[in-house]
Amino acid sequence: KRIDVNGNGQTLYYAQDENEIIGLNKAESSKLSITFKDGKVFKIAFLSSPEGVLNPILKLTGQDRKLNGFEWREQARPLTYKDVFRK
């Protein structure tokens, strides 16, 4: 499965070196593609004008751990994969 994002795609994920978390990678791109394998993110391709920063885990602030402009809307969230992958 794959999700293509056109316009203001943001990612936030913990970077690892072997089994140790080394930092939090925060990146955005005007166009990106996310590929899933076995129900997990397998690959993220930043296709247009990517910008990002890897912040060391010990220097993270509360804002570093959030996507810009993100609002948690419990009533609008998808409950199954079919809510995300509509044909």
pLDDT in tens, 4-17: 999 889 999 999 99
Domain segments of the chain as ranges: 2-84
The pTM for the full model equals 0.68
Q: Which two tokens stand for residue 40?
A: 């997990």
Q: Which residue has the higher pLDDT, 23 or 64?
A: 23
Under 8 Å CB-to-CB from 87, ≥6 apart: which residues? Answer: none
- One-letter amino acid at 14 equals Y
**Dihedral sign, Cα of residue 28, residue 32, residue 36, residue 39:** positive
For the chain, what is the mean pLDDT?
89
